[in-house]
Structure 1
Amino acid sequence: MLKVDNINVYYGNIHAIKDVSFEVNEGEIVTLIGANGAGKSTILKTISGLLRTKTGDVILKGESIKSVAPHKIVAKGLAHVPEGRRVFLAMSVEENLEMGAYTQPASSVAPNMQEVFQWFPRLKERRRQMAGTLSGGEQQMLAMGRAMMSGAKVLLLDEPSMGLSPLLVKEIFEIITELNKRGMTILLVEQNAQMALSVAQRAYVLETGRIIMQGSAAELLNNDSVRKAYLGA
């Protein structure tokens, strides 16, 4: 479904991502784990077209998207839920969701919104409320719902648990698991490595812009060096 092939990404003279390759098969949850500054968010931004790779390729459903404009990547079925949620604070919940559907035909907006409200009943209750008045957990739900409004088949999730209470983290991850069971392919970047590895099928460990380890999530969850570095065990 998604293949990243030997990408190298720079911020000016800083070589942020070094020869990174990985793939996400249809119907999988794959997670990238690593310390702050390892390059996880940079990889997601490169996949979604917000940054450009100097070498290599990004392939979505067999087609190169490395030079495609971000909004056209969304139209091809890949949506990015950014770190920090980035909802439109001065717009209502409903207006935020409508913004997520800007690549879609008008006829799909209402049915897509009904589906989002089924996933996130709290958003339905607050549909007229300004997004800036929502709690952190509700804003995360809104950011995910906005991405789903695009009709995405692949979701890039960047730190969905950031700043949330343990109870809300559990709720968000239950939704991620359920979305995946219903056919959504997910690439997950998450500081909470324990939670990420507990929902993913496969994982890649990133350190200073390089992949240093990969395997099934279960293998990495039980790997001594991963446990020591990222799981506090």
Structure 2
Amino acid sequence: MHFALLATILLLITVESRELLANFGKIASGQSLTSSDSVVKKPGESVTLSCTGSGFSVGSSYMHWVYQKPGNGLEWIGRIDPGTGTIFAQSLQGQFSIKKDSSKNMLYLEIKSLKTEDTAVYYCYHCDYAAYDYWGKGTSVTVTSGKKPSVYILAPPEHKEGDKMTLTCYVKDFYPKEVFVSWLADDEPVTLGVTKPAKGPDGKFSIRSHLDLQPSDWAPGEVYTCRVTHLTAEGHNAHKLQCSLRCSRWQ
């Protein structure tokens, strides 16, 4: 079958096929492709995605990359031959670089000068004898100037009278990771404990800050505020958010 026809068939796969793609790597027993983790990048940055082959030789195979933008079907990017020759879709010439490292059995896709429209899920796959026989599960690439966090204060649902209470400020789904958290009691600063930002599977960050209170600190009507300053990707602007909790009767 002519390669162009195969590429056309590939593009007819719908968005709903994404979960099927993740299982294509299991078709050939013992042969699979493991994709690199999802990433969040700023416009203008570069990123290199990878796929690691198992049970076959990446170096001696025809290896391809495709991508799927939100709400769209799959689009073929290009391939690298058993040697080092590469072929790219005509509309994507110069935007991507495909390489492989036979010693590590790995395939790479480099995207330079990222733009927001490069946000997509990128799939690697192996093609043998005109059959798309196994795929990587896909790597999500999000290109954004920054995402401001959501901020919540969490209090324990139950506590015994006389025991301390711990309030938790949950700051979630932000990028980049530079964030500053502080606590206020009726607009006066109080001490806190804070964890380091942790990256989630979607490439965004979350963080928790804890404030321990004694019964004497919990005065009815007093307001505890978690104040969050989040630096944007540009580094000189900041999102300033806060969440407050008014004390009720200590139970």
With the length of structure 1 as denominator, give the TM-score of the two structures. 0.25
Give the structure-2-normalised TM-score: 0.23
Comparing both structures, which one devotes a greater share of its residues to helix?
1
User: Which protein has the larger Cα radius of gyration, Structure 1 or Structure 2?
Assistant: 2
Report which of the two has the higher share of strand: 2
Greater RCO, 1 or 2 (C-alpha within 8 Å, sep 6+): 1
